[in-house]
Amino acid sequence: MGAASVTSLPLFGRNFLRVAAIAALVLPLLAACGGGGGGGVGSSGVKRAAFTSAEFGVAVSPRVTQAKFPPRGGGRYLSPRPYVVRGVTYQPVEGPGYVARGKASWYGHDFHGRRTANGEIFGAFYLTAASPVLPVPSYARVTNLENGRSILVRVNDRGPYLKGRIIDLSYEAASILGYVNNGSAEVEVRYVGPAPLNGDDTRLLRASINKLTKYEREQQVLYAMAEDATPIPAERVRGEISGLFGYAESGPLSAADAAAQALASGEIQTSASAGDRIRLELGTFADYETAVRTAQSFATLGAVDEEYLDTGTRLTLVHLKPGVARNDVLLLARELGLNDPILY
């Protein structure tokens, strides 16, 4: 006997075949969405993982949120001590001078909403990265050598642990660099500087697409000064600054000393919650390097406001940190070769 046609079957049988046919098409799609490399987590919208936790080399942490944009910050600084993954020892670097070329991949769905190695929450739509050796957290500029695109990313995770791969970027960062669909790309990774533990650096990172940020230029100046131990001629400084200060006859501050002060001070502060409010115009600096050096030096004592004018960068000390006396300002001014300032 030949097989019966669909139209010769009872109504129930025809409906059953239709349901079975639809299921055969839909169920594989549902399975893909529910798997490790499938659809987005919650409202994240990331379509695939790009690689699994097995490829990552270590077990992933529990997911703590499904929000598309998880809270920022809340991490810690990772130890520079060497560590071992899969029998391979990795030695974190200090950072300055680090430049590497190799493969970059990206991660999204599997890791979205989970804790990174330093306790931050990974967000696929933030501009972040994982490195096996760079300081965490820190900033690095990644350039896609295949198309020339570049971006500043926040390194807040460890990995990848696959041969030839030097960095893994978030879904968003990889999208901007143009290799999400390819899965990986040849890149250059260049360390830029330390990153703060808390706060939202999204604006800084978004402003870095294919161009250097102010932060990167400042770091370049600091590293250049650290490598140059030659004293800066007093005549050069006198010609670069105009303001309320005149110059004393004390010797010039060496670049190495200025760099040490700047590195110890950290980021230029724009506000303070306690201490004395003052207003002290430090001067208008035609040379950006000199402005950065002076601002970083006085940032050890308080908050320095920056104003960008056609004639240069105007710096004003507007707040003293708790425990800082006004005499400390006078001492620093003399150390930098400035006459006693007038405080308001």
> 271 lies in a domain?
yes
In this structure, are 144 and 59 located in the same domain?
yes
| pLDDT tens by residue, 56-104 | 556 667 888 989 999 988 889 999 999 998 889 999 999 999 999 999 9
Pairing label, strands 128-130, 165-170: antiparallel
Give a yes or no: residue 31 inside a domain. Answer: no
| Pair 64, 187 in one domain | yes
* Domain termination site, one of 181, 211, 241: 211
- Is 302 among the domain residues? yes
* In a shared domain, residues 96 and 235: no
CA distance linking residue 320 with residue 276, whole number of Å: 5
Task: Residue 140: give its domain's CATH number.
Answer: 2.40.40.10
Q: How far lies 252's CA from each of 229, 237, 247, 314, 334, in Å?
A: 12, 9, 10, 21, 10
Angle (nearest 5°) at CA 305 between 303 and 311: 150
pLDDT, mean of residues 336-343: 59
Residue 63 lies in a domain: yes
Q: How many domains does the chain have?
A: 2
Using pLDDT thresholds of 50, 70 and 90, give the confidence band for residue 51: low
Which residue among 161, 180, 211 closes a domain? 211
Q: Is the pTM of this model over 0.75?
A: no
β-pairing, 150-157 vs 302-309, is unpaired
Same domain, residue pair 275 and 329: yes
The answer on 304 and 192 residing in a single domain is: no
My answer on whether 192 and 139 are in the same domain is yes
Residue 252 included in any domain:
yes
Is 205 within the bounds of a domain? Answer: yes
CB contact at 8 A, 41 and 35: no
Mark whether 179 and 201 lie in a shared domain. Answer: yes
Tell me what percent of the residues of the chain surpass a pLDDT of 90: 37
**Domain for residue 91, yes or no?**
yes
- Do residue 120 and residue 148 come from a single domain? yes
Amino acid at 163: K
31 Cβ neighbours under 8 A, 6+ residues apart: 38
135 and 275 co-located in one domain: no
Q: What is the mean pLDDT of residues 146-172?
A: 94
Domain endpoint, select from 211, 239, 260: 211
Both 198 and 262 in a single domain?
A: no
Q: In the predicted model, is pLDDT for residue 328 greater than 90?
A: no
Task: Quickly count: other Cβ atoms within 10 Å of residue 324's Cβ.
Answer: 17
Q: Across the chain, which distance is largest between two alpha carbons, in Å?
A: 114
**Is 230 part of a structural domain of the chain?**
yes
CA distance linking residue 48 with residue 40, whole number of Å: 7
pLDDT at 52: 56
pLDDT of residue 308: 66
Comparison of pLDDT for 157 and 259, the residue scoring more? 157
Counted residue by residue, the chain has a size of: 344
Higher pLDDT, 14 or 115: 115
The answer on 178 and 73 residing in a single domain is: yes
Q: Are residues 177 and 199 in the same domain?
A: yes
Range of the domain at 98: 53-211
